Amino acid sequence: MMLRLDGISGGYHDTLVHRGLSLELGAGEVLAVIGRNGTGKTTLARLIAGELPLAGGSIRFGGQDITRLSSWDRARRGIVSMPQTDMVFDGLTVAENLALTGAKSLGELGKRFPRIAQRMRQTAQTMSGGERKILGFVRALVSPGKLLVLDEPSEGVQTENIDHMVACIRQACADGTACLLFEQNIRMVEALAHAVIGLDSSGVCYRAEGQEISRQDMLATLSL
């Protein structure tokens, strides 16, 4: 298993958002975590990235216990996260944002998102919300890593570019990268997920794999 959460608990200060949550994710797989706003998707992403401390349970990554590692040590071991907000360095140019990942060129991503490649000298904060999402996404995908933790990458992005994102994630998975996708966009989840976990205010309310994944059940998780 690439990533394994064993009964993890955590949240903010004394409020636990997750209690005893477990999940597994193998190389080349996409696990989608769906749920409405406020059900703890971002909290879970931050617990995995190491931005929030765990209150209990353990996290294994690539066969090693990383429960006590700092976020930068997790990043160096190959966990690449794209946060939901502030997913780019606003004060830096596009080129500087990308240079920090250590990537030499954009490759395929440059062709799929030509506007990023054309705006290398522009400061990120002068871009639109959707463009900043795309820049954050490109940053994550060119970063060398084994696990992508993407927190609502499609939010505010045009359909056409969401399709490009899907294609890029597929390509990354074909190369052996695992992807934990936090989303509310059902189309994107359907196109990518090998397994789905649904969250509601009380915790995990839905789990499905492969053929069992049904649009109806996912919509039920997202409605109410």
Partner 1 sequence: MDQLLLILLNAAWQIAALALLALGLAIVFGLLRILNMAHGEFVMLGAYAHVIAGQLGLPPLTALPICILVVGLVALLIERVVVRHFYSRMFDSLLATWALSILMREIVEMIWGRAYRNVPMPVEGLVQLGGVSYPGYRLIVIFLVIAGFACLWLWYRKSLTGVRIRAVVNNPSLARASGINTSRFSAAAFVTGCVLAGLSGLLLAPMLGVEPSMGLDALIRSFFALVVGGLGTLEGLGIGVAVVGGVQAGLSAALSQTAGYLGVLVLAILFLWRRPDGLYRRR
Nearest to partner 1 of 91, 114 (CB atom): 91
Q: Name which position in 11, 40, 50, 57 contacts partner 1 (CB under 8 A).
A: 50
Query: Is there binding between residue 76 and partner 1 (CB under 8 A)?
Result: yes
Selected from 63, 72, 160, 210, the binder of partner 1 by CB under 8 A is: 72
* 205: nearest Cα among 31, 21, 15: 21
What tokens does 52 get? 């929030």
Q: What share of the chain is helix, strand, coil (3-state, %, to 5)?
A: 35, 30, 35
The single residue among 42, 143, 185, 221 that binds partner 1, judged by CB under 8 A, is 143
Contact with partner 1 (CB under 8 A) among 49, 148, 179, 199: 49
Could you say whether residue 81 binds partner 1 (CB under 8 A)?
yes
Please give the structure tokens belonging to residue 8. Answer: 């993890």
Minimum Å gap between C-beta 194 and partner 1 is 24
Residue 16 found at the interface with partner 1 (CB under 8 A): no
Task: Using the rule CB under 8 A, give the single segment among 15-23, 36-44, 88-96, 109-117 that binds partner 1.
Answer: 88-96
* Shortest Å, Cβ 95 to partner 1: 9
List own/partner pairs for 92-98 with CB under 8 A and 24 or more apart.
92/123, 92/124, 93/120, 93/121, 93/122, 93/123, 93/124, 94/119, 94/120, 94/121, 94/122, 94/124, 94/127, 94/135, 95/120, 95/121, 97/124, 97/135, 97/139, 98/138, 98/139, 98/142
Positions that interact with partner 1 (CB under 8 A): 49-51, 70-72, 75-76, 80-81, 83, 86-92, 96, 99-101, 123, 143
